[in-house]
């Protein structure tokens, strides 16, 4: 079966939302913890200082240099947590034009305008997910493998095929191929 498509701006938005599921759970929790600790370190000294002034305590036992240090560390954690989030997000493929994908029992071949092409066997696909309008195929980052046709993230590549490229019978045929050859490792 062969399908042709060009990824649109709405596809890009859906990919960024749906692709988040490929990030590991410890990463998501770690990012939330780092940002939360940073917010607490920034807000606690500021709140305690603000509360001590109205109560008439002008000479509090809080050391101003310790308050400044806590706020500085808190801000650094917030910046680090949000920076890691930005760096770990999906990066779009270098090729953004028309694509033709030939799909069979061995895998799929992506051909693009300008002579670019890449063959991906089903054995290289570690899992897949479906969003309302897209199929997302997860491929781990293997040594010496670089893809100009896939979205990149810290653990590998995501090949995207929009459902609109298929007719209704082809969608079911493609799902059967995926269920036969690829584990569904993501929620």
Q: Residue 107: which H helix or E strand, with range? A: strand 107-112
User: From CA 20, how far away is CA 168, in angstroms rounded?
Assistant: 27
Question: For residue range 87-114, what is the model confidence (pLDDT) as tens digits?
Answer: 556 666 666 678 888 899 888 888 877 6
User: Where along the chain do its domains lie?
Assistant: 2-17+92-181, 23-88
CATH number given to 2-17+92-181: 2.30.29
Q: How many residues does the chain have?
A: 187
Claim: this prediction has a pTM higher than 0.75 = no
pLDDT at position 144, please? 45
pLDDT at position 58, please? 53
Question: For residue range 19-71, what is the model confidence (pLDDT) as tens digits?
Answer: 666 655 555 666 777 778 888 888 877 676 666 655 555 555 667 777 788 88
Average pLDDT, the chain: 75
What Cα–Cα distance (Å) separates residue 47 from each residue in 33, 40, 44, 53, 71? 20, 10, 5, 10, 11
């Amino acid at each position: 079966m062969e399908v042709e498509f060009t990824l649109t701006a709405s596809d890009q938005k859906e990919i960024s939302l749906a692709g988040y599921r490929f990030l590991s759970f410890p990463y998501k929790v770690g990012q939330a913890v780092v940002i939360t600790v940073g917010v607490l370190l920034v807000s606690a000294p500021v709140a305690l200082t603000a509360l001590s002034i109205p109560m008439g305590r002008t000479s509090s036992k809080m050391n101003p240099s310790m308050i400044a240090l806590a706020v500085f560390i808190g801000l650094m954690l917030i910046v680090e947590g949000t920076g890691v989030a930005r760096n770990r997000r999906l990066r779009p493929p270098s090729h953004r034009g028309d694509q033709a994908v030939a799909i069979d029992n061995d895998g799929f071949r992506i051909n693009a305008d300008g002579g670019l092409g890449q063959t991906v066997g089903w054995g290289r696909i570690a899992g897949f997910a479906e969003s309302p309008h897209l199929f997302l195929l997860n491929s781990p980052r293997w040594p010496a493998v670089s893809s100009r046709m896939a979205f990149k993230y810290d653990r590998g590549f995501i090949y995207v095929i929009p459902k609109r490229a298929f007719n209704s019978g082809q969608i079911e045929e493609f799902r059967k191929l995926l269920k036969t050859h690829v584990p569904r490792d993501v929620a």
